[in-house]
């Protein structure tokens, strides 16, 4: 079915703030150890830059998530050494990811549900309600979140890490992510280095991380995508530098 997403993200963050759950991380950008006394209840909602604001192309189609609230959050990094500290630069990178996924991979849209820049903003990908193309076996039952950049050797900055936790908390408050959700790194779903060695050491210490994820078998509501996104998701970091437009 060809269509645009029928539901847009609400800008009324104050309504969600009352129910925001989860933790905010205040770890240093090079420290992979997490002191859990530094976790506090999230008291802010992240700014989510809409598709219109970052200049998204029209998606070809969409598939409604069949499992909601989703039991999994899958953490990614972009795997390309492009970094951004302002909305304009981050929007350019997000557009490059969308072009890669749609033009090179033949997908309906950018693969991730959300992306996060080191400007501290979250960027709307497929959003809360639609199946992503980012982790085989988990796409129909997860929210996939990608932090822009390559974090093999160091962590995302504090602004990005704080937004990661606030975004998950907002998903719980909205009823899009289960309260007892599981966190996994992309490498737990397929053979990949994603989300980078250093960042993955951080991810395994996040509340909710599970060492032995077991995806729930489920069919999506619509199955009209000829590329079978459930099984053909390919890491951004596996593509050549020629795809790096910055």
32-40 CB contacts, 8 Å cutoff, 24+ apart: 32/155, 32/198, 32/201, 32/202, 33/205, 34/202, 34/205, 34/206, 36/207, 39/207
Region class of 137: left (phi > 0), else alpha (psi between -120 and 50), else beta: left
What single-letter DSSP state applies at residue 243? G
Read off the pTM. 0.77
In order of 13, 102, 148, 209, 224, the CA distances from 60 in angstroms are 29, 9, 24, 33, 11
Alpha-carbon gap, residue 44 to 173, rounded angstroms: 12
pLDDT at position 214 is 87
pLDDT at position 111 is 97
What single-letter DSSP state applies at residue 59? P
Distance between first and last Cα of the chain: 34
Alpha-carbon gap, residue 74 to 96, rounded angstroms: 21
pLDDT at position 217 is 61
pLDDT at position 42 is 54
pLDDT at position 116 is 98
> For 161-202, what is each residue's pLDDT tens digit?
999 999 999 999 999 999 999 999 999 999 999 999 999 999
Q: Of all residues in the chain, what percent are helix, strand and coil, respectively (each to 5)?
A: 30, 15, 55
- The answer to whether the CB of 203 falls within 8 A of the CB of 75 is yes
Name the one residue in this structure whose structure tokens are 């704080």: 162
Low-confidence ranges of the chain (pLDDT < 50): 1-40, 219-246
pLDDT at position 43 is 57
């Amino acid at each position: 079915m060809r269509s645009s997403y029928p539901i847009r993200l609400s800008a009324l963050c104050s309504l969600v703030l009352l129910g925001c759950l989860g933790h905010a991380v205040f770890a240093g950008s090079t420290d992979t150890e997490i002191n859990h006394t530094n976790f506090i209840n999230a008291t802010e909602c992240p700014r989510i830059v809409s598709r219109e604001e970052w200049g998204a192309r029209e998606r070809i189609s969409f598939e409604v998530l069949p499992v909601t609230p989703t039991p999994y959050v899958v953490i990614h990094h972009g795997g390309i050494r492009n970094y951004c500290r302002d909305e304009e630069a981050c929007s350019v990178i997000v557009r490059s990811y969308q072009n890669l996924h749609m033009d090179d991979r033949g997908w309906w849209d950018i693969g991730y549900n959300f992306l996060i820049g080191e400007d501290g903003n979250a960027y709307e990908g497929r959003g809360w309600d639609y199946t992503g193309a980012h982790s085989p076996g988990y796409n129909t039952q997860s929210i996939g979140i990608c932090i822009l950049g390559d974090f093999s050797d160091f962590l995302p900055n504090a602004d990005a890490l704080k937004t990661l936790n606030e975004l998950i908390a907002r998903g719980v408050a909205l009823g899009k992510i289960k309260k007892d959700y599981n966190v996994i790194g992309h490498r737990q779903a397929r053979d990949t280095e994603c989300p980078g060695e250093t960042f993955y050491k951080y991810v395994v210490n996040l509340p909710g991380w599970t060492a032995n994820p077991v995806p729930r078998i489920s069919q999506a509501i619509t199955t009209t995508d000829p590329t079978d996104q459930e099984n053909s998701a390919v890491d951004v970091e596996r593509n050549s530098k020629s795809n790096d437009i910055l």
